[in-house]
Chain A
């Protein structure tokens, strides 16, 4: 520890003003502040500050994402072997499945972090600002919301697009209007729809190895075409409520397991890092909307009950990890309730009522990202009005 400190102290002059690597100051700064919380004391204002900083905040989110990541790695392997007709038992071949999944997910992580952090550092150097911690989370989110068959060059392109256009163009972390990870996904969704939709993309591995009768359809696609009957009569009873709950179904890497997502939600709520208001209202809005459709009941997909809707697709992942991004969500506490509720309703509306898009959460959240300032405006204006009314009363 002392040796590291000494190494940093020796190198520091080179990276400071006037040094040989002056331009790389913020690269060095990022490395230094990662290893050591800087010995910087309060300048003016308060003389004691809370221990929390952005690094710890972001790291907590990363920890909350770990259950989804680890389960996702295993499930990528599990789905592959299911498709190939081997090791259908959940408990068999753990190492083989994890190894295969790691072979798929690890390159995705490397590409996402490599490209994203590369651009972050580049911008930090060019624009002379410190490297922000926000990408620690974004870089992990991006692979988790992609299908496991996504070509790595596409992932790289999407990450670059999201970081440059979605974030840096607005001024970096804290200034962006749209959720950065979702910008990456929506870019691929519209630019390369063939690689982002359909039944063939959710299981890793060459289709030649799969058994003939195998369909790679997600539970959502099956329910969409045939409703509850199709879900429950799926060969091999793959889509029981229990399987949906544990997450042993095809889908994007990190989104399938209700259990893993709930573990993450528990961490975020217990630490106070994620807004429970948003999580609860997104789910409430989604359940209310699904229940309404079930009550009207005009068609097999509409008849799917709300608890199945929650267990399928990416609604929970979106509610816990996407909608809660503090920068792009509503900023007022009351606004968060409205923001979450509208995401829940709109997302479920797109899922059930719109035949053009298979899933609604990405679009619902991006849409509400745009409207979040408008929601805040209502509550901020109310505060201003209250104050104005008081002035005339006296």
Chain B
């Protein structure tokens, strides 16, 4: 099927990864951050202590509420520290990596047996790579999902090119898809950019239970939530799983070789970096080696993920559990004289009150400035222009703020997660914290349901 989406906005920012390989050292440390995975409690069961030696695939953390779900080390090495945040929440479990990665050898599963595949995914910690809708939490091993969705392209600002990150991993990707197909009673749906010749189309067309859907349009056409909405929308009580393409390949190598080989190709991006490009590393890599001696201006904002839905991280920190992109922009903490009247520098915008609106091909240097202060909702129709789904964002948000359970349900809270509304937050004239409101609503609904 072909889906033509019209609403949305592709932000063009400076600092694209280009096609180049990033020359730099491999990071010395890697980390698992349980906080990146909604659904895991703030203090999960930590299975290792500082100084312990671990192998790649050895569990580090176990979910208290669901003890079969665990997160494993992406590398072999020594546990360096367990970083805790406020109220002793486990923020990062940092591993000093060996030069040569040693793997836990798992028994290879019978690819016809769903139980064996599930057992292997749980045992190896690869289970955490699969997320569950609604709510975008870790998948519940006790359910069989209606379908599994994989978006094979990313339309977010400065996002990595799927052809580059998947290069050389086509075989593992196809093996991963075959394994995933055993997990669902429905199909594995792949969303690809219309007209592109990606690995997914070539390899997967022949596999059973795989459906390929072509999407065309501006961001967020590449968001898996938007694709689910158009392919087979999620109704109350239904459950689907989602997973990113690189993680499909990780699962592929797990089922075929019996090792948790958490390889990731990362895009190092952002207008505040001197050099950008791609780098081959592993899940949860430390970001410092790519940022130090590479900044254009201080202070800088480091974002694990893209600037719309990513998380701000410290220089000493690591990439998020699901992220395959690092974005570095300048911190926008400078007041701007009469900036609301005559802006002093060009900026990305959806508003025709700025000349920048008409510079369609320009790649903007951006800062993290809010460009104004928070106000009550005044403008209407802004959010609808950037959400290519049959939902009414402003009404849904107001239903959440009013804690109106039935209305939020009726207006489709099960179909959206933060990243699908991130553009609403970008365009909002009143600078409302849209994603935070939605996450609070999702957590609230999940606790009620």
Contacts and interface: CB of A to CB of B under 8 A. Distances in A.
Nearest to A57: B429
A53 B371 contact: yes
B98 interface: no
A35 B337 contact: yes
Nearest to A129: B376
Given A37-B336, A37-B372, A39-B332, A51 B356 contact: yes
Contacts of A383: 390-392, 395, 410-412
Contacts of B309: 46
A48 B377 contact: no
Contact of B301 (A41, A50, A174): A41
A281 interface: no
Contact of A35 (B338, B366, B395): B338
B332 A41 contact: yes
B329 A49 contact: no
Contact of A49 (B343, B376, B391, B425): B425
B308 A48 contact: yes
A243 interface: no
A108 B381 CA distance: 34
A38 B235 CA distance: 43
B372 A55 contact: yes
Interface in A148-180: 171-175
Interface string B324-366: 0001010111111111110100011111111010000000001
B58 interface: no
A332 interface: yes
A49 B350 CA distance: 10
A173 B378 contact: yes
Contacts of B372: 37-38, 49, 52-56
B378 A42 contact: no
A41 B367 CA distance: 8
A132 B366 contact: no
B143 interface: no
B351 A271 contact: yes
A89 interface: no
B376 A50 contact: no
A357 interface: no
A290 B157 CA distance: 51
A1 interface: yes
A33 B351 CA distance: 20
In this complex, which of A48, A59, A132, A387 has the most chain B Cβ atoms within 10 angstroms of its Cβ?
A48
B341 A174 contact: no
B44 interface: no
Contacts of A59: 340-341
Contacts of B236: 391
A33 B237 CA distance: 47
Given A50-B371, A53-B371, A387 B340 contact: no
B347 to A, nearest CB: 4
Contacts of A36: 335-339
Interface in B407-449: 407, 410-412, 418, 422, 425-431, 433-436
A212 interface: no
B262 interface: no
A54 B375 CA distance: 8
B331 A41 contact: yes
B349 A326 contact: no
In this complex, which of A42, A54, A384, A390 has the most chain B Cβ atoms within 10 angstroms of its Cβ?
A42
A52 B366 contact: no
B39 interface: no
Given A37-B371, A47-B301, A55-B372, A384 B378 contact: no
Number of chain B interface residues as a range: 35 or more
A280 B307 CA distance: 38
Interface in A229-267: none
Given A48-B308, A271-B353, A33 B426 contact: no
Contacts of B426: 46, 48-50
A37 B345 CA distance: 13
A136 B436 CA distance: 30
A23 interface: no
Contact of B349 (A51, A172, A332, A391): A51
B376 A47 contact: no
A130 B373 contact: yes
B332 A52 contact: no
A130 B430 CA distance: 13
A53 B431 contact: yes
B351 A43 contact: no
B370 interface: yes
A46 B422 contact: yes
A56 B341 contact: yes
A5 B301 CA distance: 25
A20 interface: no
Given A37-B335, A50-B427, A384-B411, A57 B379 contact: yes
A283 to B, nearest CB: 19
B410 A46 contact: no
A340 to B, nearest CB: 13
B384 interface: yes
A179 to B, nearest CB: 13
Contacts of B329: 47-48
B380 interface: yes
B369 interface: yes
Nearest to B303: A47
A52 B436 contact: no
Nearest to B371: A51
A336 B381 CA distance: 10
A284 interface: no
A134 interface: yes
Contacts of B334: 39
Contact of A331 (B331, B336, B395, B410): B395
B214 interface: no
A105 B425 CA distance: 40
A217 interface: no
Nearest to A332: B392
Contact of B429 (A53, A271, A391): A53
21 contacts: A4-B337, A38-B370, A46-B425, A47-B329, A48-B348, A49-B431, A52-B349, A52-B350, A52-B354, A56-B340, A57-B378, A134-B378, A174-B375, A326-B380, A327-B378, A332-B395, A380-B392, A383-B395, A387-B410, A391-B237, A394-B238
Interface of A: 1, 4-5, 33, 35-57, 59-60, 130, 132-134, 171-175, 270-273, 275, 326-327, 329, 331-333, 336, 376, 380, 383-384, 386-388, 390-391, 394
Shortest Cβ-Cβ A-B pairs, 3 listed? A53-B372, A174-B376, A37-B339
Interface of B: 11, 13, 157, 233, 235-238, 301, 303, 307-310, 312, 327, 329, 331-341, 343, 347-354, 356, 366-373, 375-381, 384, 390-392, 394-395, 407, 410-412, 418, 422, 425-431, 433-436
Given A48-B307, A53-B371, 16 more contacts: A37-B371, A40-B370, A40-B373, A42-B332, A47-B303, A50-B429, A51-B371, A52-B427, A54-B375, A54-B378, A57-B378, A174-B375, A326-B381, A327-B378, A387-B233, A388-B410
